[in-house]
Chains A and B, each alone.
Chain A
Amino acid sequence: MTLLINRAQETAGKSVALEDLILTTALPTTGGSKMLEGYMSLFDATVVGKLEAAGYEIAGKANIGEFGFDLLGETSYFGACENEQGELEAASSLLLADGEVEAVVGLDVNGTQRRAAALADQVCVKPTYGTVSRFGTIAVACSGEAVCVTANTAAEAQDVLSAIVGHDDKDGTSLPEERCALAKTAAEMPKKKIALAKSFVEAADDLTKAAIAEFASFAEKAGFAVEEIDDAILLAARPAWNVLMSAELCNNVSRFDGVKYGYRATQYETIDELYTNSRTEAFGELLKATILYGSEMLSEENYDKMYDKSLRVRRVVVEELARIFADYDAVLLPACSKSAYTLAELEADKFLCFKDNACTAVASISGVPAVVVGGVQLVGPAFSDAALLALAAQFESAEEVR
C-alpha cells in the first residue's frame, strides 16, 4: 500500500505531505496517474514556497486517485489504500493517523479530502475560492477546485491554512491580499443560528446521522439555534457540478498526449496512434468515462441544454446560499452519506464519486468555505473559513470534556 508516492529525505521539524496534484521541483508529481509517473516539474507551486517560508518541511507526495476527483483515492495508478478494518481510506488520512505529518495539503476537486476527513474523524478545510493560490497545481476543474488542508485538529489545520492563504500574481483567480486575509481571521458568528440541511441528512446512514445529531447537540449547548431548512435547491448542486467538473476536466487533461512529457505508448505508427494509444494505455476507466461525458456536455447538441444550464444553476445555488446566510451562520450537513466504503463497493460501482458527492458539491460549485470536523461538514459564507475552524475547535474541546 502506497501512502507516499515519493518520499523526501527524513524531516526533523514540522512536516506536511503534499497530495500529488501539487507541483514540486524536488520530487516527481504524478497526479496519481500512469500518464505522469516520474514527471518532474520545472517549478514549484506557490503553496510549496509559502509552506517552506512558514517553517514546514515537505515529507513527500501523498497518494491520490487519478487527477484527484474520485471518491477516496481508489483510482490511483499506485493503488488504493485501506485501513486495518478493510475499509477504503485516503492516504492522507492514514498518514495523519500514523503521525507521519502534521497536515496534508491537497487540491479539493470533488470533495475527496472532505469525505476522507469525515470518515477518519479528522479536520479538513476547503477555503474560500481565490484565497489560496492554485498556481502550480495540476488543473482539473478550475472553476471550483481549491487548495485544501487536512489535519488531526482544527488548530493544526488553521496554522497550515494561515501559512498558505494570500494573493498571488501568478494566479489569475487569486483575490487581493486584504480579502485573502479575511480567511485567516475568525470573526464572530453573529446570528447564532445553524441551518440543518435535512434532505442530505435523511439520505445518510445511521452513523452519519448520529454524528450530525452530536454536532447539533454541541451547537445548541454552545448557544446556537439549529433549525431545519428547505434544501431542495442545494440538491441541484450535484448534477450541475458533475457537468461543469467533467467539462473542465475534459479540456484540462487534453494536454496529456504523450508528445512533450508524460507517458508515451511503445506501439504506434501514425501521430493519431501515438495520441490514442498513449492516452488509452495511461488513463484509468473513471478518467476516460469523465472525459467522454465532459466532451459530450460541451458538444453543440448539449452545450445549451446541459453545460449552459449548469452554469445558470450554479448562480441559483449561490443565490440560495446567500439567502440562507442572511439568516444563518453556517449550514450543517454530512460530508458523505456513508460512514465507510470498501474497495468491493467501488469495484461494483466505479462511478460512485458522481453520486456520493452531493454533500461536497454545494461548496465546490459555489466557492464558499467548508470545514469537516467530527464526521460532519459545516459550509459557511465566503471568508468565514477561520470562524468555521474556530467552531470546529470548540467542538473538539467539548468532545474532550465528554
Chain B
Amino acid sequence: MNMDILVRLEKLNQLRLTEEQRAQQLAFFAEREAEMAQLDAIDTADVERMVHVLPLENVLREDRADEPFSREDLQAGAPQADDGYWQVPRTVD
C-alpha cells in the first residue's frame, strides 16, 4: 500500500481524504496487513471457499407484477427532483 494506490482507491470509491486522514488510512492498512500472518499460517490449499455458511438455493417466485411504489412516494425523499425526475448535473456533454 502506498499513497498512489490510496489516492486511486479514493477516486474509485468516490471519497476524498484529508492529508491527516490519509496518514491514518495508511496506518490502518499496515495494521490489517500485519494480522494477515494469522491467515497465512493456515494451509488452505485443499480447502473450498465458503461464501455462505448455509447451503443456499436460488429463490424464485411466481412471475407476476406486484403493485409498484408510486413515483411520488419514491421521490418523496429525493435530494432534488422536479416534474417526476431526479435531478443531477449533466452527465453527457
Measuring CB to CB, which residues of chain A are less than 8 angstroms from any residue of chain B?
Answer: 38-40, 42, 129-130, 143-144, 169, 172-173, 175, 233, 235-236, 238-240, 242-243, 250, 254, 257-264, 268-277, 279-280, 283, 285, 288-289, 291-293, 295-296, 306, 308-316, 318, 350-351, 354-355, 366-367
Contact = CB atoms under 8 A, between A and B. Distances in A.
B89 A264 contact: no
B31 interface: yes
B36 A306 contact: yes
12 contacts: A40-B76, A243-B32, A261-B77, A280-B15, A295-B9, A295-B12, A296-B9, A312-B44, A312-B49, A315-B49, A351-B28, A354-B32
A240 B39 contact: yes
Interface of B: 1, 5-6, 9-10, 12-17, 21, 24-25, 28-29, 31-32, 35-36, 38-42, 44, 47-54, 56, 59, 61, 69, 73-74, 76-80, 86, 88-91
Contact of A271 (B35, B39, B91): B91
Given A312-B47, A313-B42, A291 B89 contact: no
Given A233-B42, A254-B13, A315-B44, 12 more contacts: A39-B77, A40-B76, A236-B42, A259-B79, A271-B89, A277-B16, A289-B25, A309-B39, A312-B47, A315-B50, A316-B44, A367-B54
Contact of B28 (A172, A289, A295, A308): A289
Please classify the interface of chain B as helix (H, G, I), strand (E, B), loop, or mixed, using the class held by over half of its residues.
loop
Contacts of A318: 50, 53
Please name the 5 residue pairs, one residue from A and one from B, whose CB atoms are nearest each other, closest first.
A367-B53, A264-B79, A312-B44, A315-B50, A311-B49
